[in-house]
Amino acid sequence: MMWFRNVNVAAIDNKLLLTVVAVILVLIGGVYALAPVDVEGKRIFGIFTLIPVLSVLALALISKRTLEPLCAGAIIGLLMLDVNPLAFINGLMGSSLKVLASPVMGWIMLLSALMGGLIMWLQVSRATVVFSDLLEKYVKTRPQSMFAAWILGLIIFVDDYLSVLTVGAATRRLTDKFGVSRAMLAYIAAATAAPLCLLVPLSTWAIYVSGLLEANNAVAAGEGLKFYISVIPYIFYAWSAVFLVPLVIYNLIPMSPAMRRAEMAAKTNPPVQTNVEELEGSAKPALWHFFLPIIVMIVLTWYLGDTLLGVMGATIVTLVAYRMAGLGSIPALCEHFMKGVSSMVTPIAIIFAAFVLQDVNEQLGLAPYIIESAKPLISANLLPVITFVLLAFLTFTTGSFWGIYAISIPIIVPLAQALDANMALTLGALISAGGFGSHACFFGDSTVLESRGCEITPIEHALTQLRYVMISAAIAAVLFAVMPFIMA
């Protein structure tokens, strides 16, 4: 019965992977041949629009990787659109150039690069070490170290990108000391990122959704933020995700097998701190070296209403302050900054591939198909829960959160008005779905950056936190199902 010890697991995985790819290619050929064509000559794929996103999920689970499945999903979708090799190449180039030229992708690339450089400065100046030493004076137990990370996440509420990168960089040395796995730290950082931003009216998420509500005439001009505040009590997923964390910290929620393995590995083989060169300046590291960049980022982001501008301002202020403090020369600071930028290349590549996949899904008509298919099932009382489940599925499988908001609000708001459904509850469900997707999607931008901040892979992060994400989603779904009857 010990034959399995001689089995080559890698070979099995490779065979399974090749089998899945072969099946997918056969499906593509069949779909392309059988899909009906509309009057404009475009193919109508129907349920087959799910093939690319389901392929991504299957390949990711088999390979335990992120970038390659995303590229495969985009290729599959483009082949579905046209199997002609020249048309495929043109489609791939067109989608890639469209994504690169989009303001959103440019914004993310710049923000990620600047944050990578800024975090590198915090490390080489030993500012994170000084901050960790400060926490160690008050943190004496393992749960307290995780609780400290949670509190820091609650403080940095302005933007999810700022939160996940800062929490990981600032607290992983502390949590490593107490044997907390990087996967657990990534979960805590994720739970206080997008979910918390949804509950704070001053966050970038709240401002964006408020603008969409006004643009789609869901509320009067200038009333978007006021109405958003009235919806906050009904963003059930965000509430459950944020406040589930203390229950997890104190072991009131059972660990998933994946998280248990990560925790055991952290105890038996503690994470090794990445060796980072130190600045050769004469000044000793001080607490203000840590707090200055963080405070400037938060204040400027809030005041200017743009995270990128906040990070740019913090970068300039930190460069000047570190130089004047004698932490290092301008050439040395710039050299380390570029090393931080280079560390973000892989996360940026993953986000780019995810955006290309999103563009392909738009061409296939995935989101409109899913939403239109569910319309016959919807009633006034069922609208909130169906909205949450449907859009949560879309955000999880597409990696598009703000994009799904932009697509769904013009559909869901008129539908809620026509059915006389509770508008605040329905929008709470819609907003919750975006928070779920950002929290759960393994190739979403927030997940990728969380993984980078905690130095684990996106797929490991997604699988280890999945149980907690699904518990929060289940709580939210139940509330969206029963509240229409309670509030009737």
User: In the prediction, which pLDDT does 318 show?
Assistant: 94
User: In the prediction, which pLDDT does 1 show?
Assistant: 35
Which tokens is 461 given? Answer: 């992060």
Compute the chain's Rg from CA coordinates: 23
Q: Is the pLDDT of residue 9 over 50?
A: no
User: In the prediction, which pLDDT does 13 show?
Assistant: 57
Binned at pLDDT 50, 70 and 90, residue 238 comes out as very high
414-461: per-residue pLDDT in tens? 888 888 899 999 999 999 999 999 999 888 888 888 888 888 888 899
- Mean pLDDT estimate for the chain: 85
Burial of 297 (0-12, 13-18, 19+ CB in 10 A): buried
- Percent of the residues in the chain that have a pLDDT greater than 90, as a whole number: 32
Identity at 281, one-letter amino acid code: G
360-377: per-residue pLDDT in tens? 988 888 888 887 887 777
What Å distances lie between residue 482 and 229, 383, 384, 417, CA to CA? Answer: 22, 11, 10, 20
- Percent of the residues in the chain that have a pLDDT greater than 70, as a whole number: 89
Binned at pLDDT 50, 70 and 90, residue 124 comes out as confident
Measure the CA–CA gap between 204 and 207, rounded to whole angstroms: 5
380-393: per-residue pLDDT in tens? 899 999 999 999 99
User: In the prediction, which pLDDT does 62 show?
Assistant: 80
Q: Is the pLDDT of residue 38 over 50?
A: yes
272-311: per-residue pLDDT in tens? 665 556 666 557 888 898 889 989 988 898 888 888 899 9
Per this entry, what is the length of the chain? 488
Contacts of 144 (CB under 8 A, 6+ apart): 138
Please tell me the pTM assigned to this model: 0.81
Lowest average pLDDT, out of 6-10, 239-243, 475-479, goes to 6-10
